[in-house]
Amino acid sequence: MSEASVARGHGTRVVVTGIGLITPLGGTASATWDGFISGMNGAVALGEGFDDLPISIAAPAALDPLDVLPRAQARTMNRSTQFAVIAAREAWSDAGLDRLDQQAVDPDRLGVSVGTIIGGAPVFADASHVLRDKGPRRVSPHTAPMTVPNEGAARIAIDLGVRGEARTVVSACASGSEAIGQAIDRIRLGHVDVVVAGGTEACINRTIMAAFASMRALSVGADGPKRASRPFDRDRDGFVLGEGAGLLILESEEHARRRGARVYCEAAGWGISADAHHMTAPRPDGSGVLAALRKALADAGATVDDVAHVNAHATATPQGDLAEAVALRALLGDRGARDVPVTAPKGAIGHLQGAAGGVEAGLAVLTAHHELIPPTVGLEHPDDDLGLDVVTGNPRPLPADRDILLSNSFGFGGHNAVLAFRRLGRGGNHRTIR
């Protein structure tokens, strides 16, 4: 493993040992990866209950939580939390932690860090309708705990016996990435040894979709749901709402070595910035995004020449995609912009809001592991002002001579978060630390 992060003054390296994903392409990490590599598209036309909305296209999760969780347990959680608990269990199992005795992980040095935006807001909206139509006695007693934003983190902590800390991050669409970044810092600082970190969201709801449609953020899907989300395309007209969860198991290298863990890659660093510009629009010059990108590389002890791949935020909004492209060109330079392959996952899964950063971080980790870059779905006619090497059509091998993968997340209010992952070396991305 590279010495770069230690050289930057971080006494503790952080590694990724488990992944749990629920997305519109699959109910597990492996199913999701297979869908990405094959160029699947999870967007569909919604049926009854949504057909009167101005836009009724979305990307629902491929897994119904009620098929996994006991119904009595599920009814006390909002849908976003249901996704979080299931994805956390998959990540926990993937890391081999479910096969260990209780002493293998000290619960007082175990943490949770979950990003979300909407959280239980759909529950609150539905409860408002019940109150109006049926009266206060018909409002569920579970409504209050199901609407608080921290329910996902709390339920994971209860489910896995986490006693160290349970944190919730709400930073718009950067929430999932920032939750992972904060987890990296907590491990580096020695507060915890292991963190379940990522994001979750379930906002395919009439009220929420109507609100996004009203501000003209959603694609109208004139050519049908499978061509609605078009990141970086000249004909893009907005995003498609998706839902799901993405959770990683992050550990200190020492802890992972001690238990003989299998490791995907190093969580090498992260960067964060604020645009201080507008509530819904990015800085057109991409300066805020560029600042987060540079901070992530510096935190990882890396340079631009180390960048092998960029997992772009690219929501398929006209302003957002170009601001990110401007920032990436400024970071990479003319040669790098031609040589560093970029992919935009939201063409396949839509925009998962608070879950986007967690899911796309999981995708970046799998890209490092498989040494294969998934294609960008929906990009047929690249914007004339793009100037990036975006992977389309078929998957592409990860460049062998560089080791840093960047995963970008940007949100309303100018929240920017970038994660930097370092692969362990060609052919050694998924191994046991000795």
Res. 227 pLDDT band, cuts 50 70 90: very high
pLDDT tens, residue by residue, 139-196: 999 989 989 999 999 999 999 999 999 999 999 999 999 999 999 999 999 999 999 9
Band of pLDDT at residue 1, cut at 50, 70 and 90:
very low
Is the model's pLDDT at 9 over the cut of 80? Answer: no
pLDDT value, residue 429: 39
- pLDDT for 251 equals 98
pLDDT above 60 for 240: yes
pLDDT at 125: 85
Lookup result for tokens 């890396």: 302
Asked if 173 is an active-site residue, the reply is yes
Q: What is the CA radius of gyration of the chain?
A: 20
- Active-site option among 173, 255, 309, 369: 173
Three-class SS of residue 247?
Answer: strand
Q: Is the pLDDT of residue 7 over 60?
A: no
- What pLDDT is attached to residue 419? 98
Cβ neighbours, 10 Å, residue 425: 12
Q: Are 368 and 261 in contact (CB under 8 A)?
A: no
- The mean per-residue pLDDT over the stretch 316-323 comes to 95
For every residue of 57-111, DSSP letters joined together read EEE--SS-GGGTS-HHHHTTS-HHHHHHHHHHHHHHHHTTGGGS-GGGS-GGGEE
Beta pairing partners, 185: none
Q: Is the pLDDT of residue 102 over 80?
A: no
Select which of 255, 351, 369, 415 is catalytic. 351
- Per annotation, catalytic residue among 10, 309, 313, 369: 313
In this prediction the pTM is: 0.94
- Please say if 351 is a catalytic residue: yes
Catalytic, 203? Answer: no
d(CA 23, CA 246): 8
pLDDT at 104: 77
DSSP string spanning 254-323? HHHHHTT-EE-EEEEEEEEEE--S-SSS--TT-HHHHHHHHHHHHHTT--GGGEEEEE----S-HHHHHH
User: Which pLDDT does position 4 carry in this prediction?
Assistant: 58
